[in-house]
Structure 1
């Protein structure tokens, strides 16, 4: 599951009252004058100023004015986190989560995320939920507690958490299975432009889970996610065009969407694109290209691709198969 895109965040709020030099240091940082910030921040940080410690940690973590140095970032974040800075707690949790500057340790990451989450940070609540849902690396899996933290972040409008909570409702993990509740959370995230949630809304309408099946509505939501480059949605939109479900049947459009998803490595789309090339649907018939895409799908374990390859091979020469395999090897090395 994707973690919050905002992994390392700063919410720069000056202490009240601001300490001498603090406002100048933060203003320099915010304006991109890292040389001045690096002159002003260390004395403040050494004197125990948690905001200065947090900003220094952020600068070292991201290489702003200094070479990236995750270990030094950990040092400064830890000092600020121990003083209760939610920013520092979140960022320190992320570094343990990612194994940057410290060994990867989900239990330690969870402790720091939890401290920030308890202060109301939605991104920390979400990331803690992810760790609890996945488990491992020193942290016990706990779907029920994951759902609790996703719920708190979702209630604050976090689209990642809304989607994650919806998935738990759809699977009945940590919460009772409830397709209607799942769809409601999918919709809240989808309405914020979250592509995986838009895809999930499309799946719900396509399959009739939690709502009356409606292929036209499914196509609408698949398209929204597909237009953002989300490969599973591109693959499913291609299938709707291929079958004429919810949209007018169009081989060229089907092939176009299959190709976009296949280029991102989506195995169902790769197999479907191979079929298009094999039959000349929406594209000129080309057995080499057909074999290439089916071969790539088969190597990812697609259940139908290997069977399709075997049938296709009976129509091809040894040289054509060798060329397709060469193209597949080249594609994988990209």
Structure 2
């Protein structure tokens, strides 16, 4: 994820591929992932991976479309083509794929379009893309891409706990100390943790 003031670079290490190990993608795309990263009895072949992703993308596999976009952006298995990468990414974003929305937000942020970037980070986070959540919390806290919103900032820090990230307590407490009781209650309600509001309020007010 990109933050204002930090140079943006496309991730060059593209495996693991989206959807390949989760069973949410087609047979061609699954085989493409194996060729892209190599595996037991399979020699790594990025060109073959790209060919299989192309076939799966033509059949409408959104994970293949997204993975192919990354390959064109990085020049892996295909000749580097930013225009084609952008077009494919746009297709994946239209489908609502959370990871694609996160990467699209990165690119919008690079262009200085922070308002739209925040909107797409929101979509990505709501879809369960955890990389977007701490960045979105920071943007809401600091008013990047729109007005500050401490409730939303706390919401996304708390949401990370659902994904096993328990490393944010210092940030959570620092933010909660600047919030009213009602704001804390609203943030906990948004992540189905309303029963923890009193505990958080007590900790924050110490």
TM-score (norm 2): 0.69
Kindly state the Cα deviation for residue 166 of structure 1 after the two structures are TM-superposed.
Answer: 0.5
Q: Which residue of 1 aligns with 2:76?
A: 209
Q: Which residue of 1 aligns with 2:57?
A: 190
Count of aligned positions: 171
Partner SS state of residue 329, structure 1: coil
Specify whether residues 307 and 189 from structure 1 end up closer, same or farther in structure 2 by C-alpha distance, changes over 3 A only: farther
The whole-number CA distance in structure 2 between the counterparts of 1:220 and 1:306 is 36
Specify whether residues 322 and 216 from structure 1 end up closer, same or farther in structure 2 by C-alpha distance, changes over 3 A only: farther
Q: Which residue of 1 aligns with 2:29?
A: 163
Q: Which of these residues, 88, 92, 111, is aligned with residue 221 of structure 1?
A: 88
Kindly state the Cα deviation for residue 214 of structure 1 after the two structures are TM-superposed.
Answer: 4.8
Kindly state the Cα deviation for residue 279 of structure 1 after the two structures are TM-superposed.
Answer: 2.3
- Ranked by relative contact order (alpha carbons within 8 Å, sequence separation 6 or more), the top structure is 2
TM-score (norm 1): 0.45
Q: Which residue of 2 aligns with 1:261?
A: 124
The whole-number CA distance in structure 2 between the counterparts of 1:258 and 1:171 is 28
Q: Which residue of 1 aligns with 2:148?
A: 285
| 8 Å contact from structure 1 (residues 238, 253) kept in 2 | yes
Specify whether residues 298 and 243 from structure 1 end up closer, same or farther in structure 2 by C-alpha distance, changes over 3 A only: farther
Residues 53-92 of structure 1 mapped to structure 2, 5 A cutoff: none
Partner deviation per Cα, 1:63-91 (whole Å, 9 max, x = no partner): xxxxxxxxxxxxxxxxxxxxxxxxxxxxx
Q: Which residue of 2 aligns with 1:20?
A: none
The whole-number CA distance in structure 1 between the counterparts of 2:165 and 2:66 is 20
Residues 110-121 of structure 1 mapped to structure 2, 5 A cutoff: none
| 8 Å contact from structure 1 (residues 255, 282) kept in 2 | yes
Unaligned runs of 5+ in 1: 1-129, 135-158
The whole-number CA distance in structure 1 between the counterparts of 2:55 and 2:72 is 15
Instruction: Compare CA radii of gyration and give the structure with the larger one.
Output: 1
| 8 Å contact from structure 2 (residues 35, 48) kept in 1 | yes
Kindly state the Cα deviation for residue 266 of structure 1 after the two structures are TM-superposed.
Answer: 2.1
Partner deviation per Cα, 1:38-77 (whole Å, 9 max, x = no partner): xxxxxxxxxxxxxxxxxxxxxxxxxxxxxxxxxxxxxxxx
Q: Which residue of 2 aligns with 1:21?
A: none
Unaligned runs of 5+ in 2: 1-19, 195-206
The whole-number CA distance in structure 1 between the counterparts of 2:174 and 2:110 is 22
Q: Which residue of 2 aligns with 1:106?
A: none
Q: Which of these residues, 224, 236, 250, is aligned with residue 103 of structure 2?
A: 236
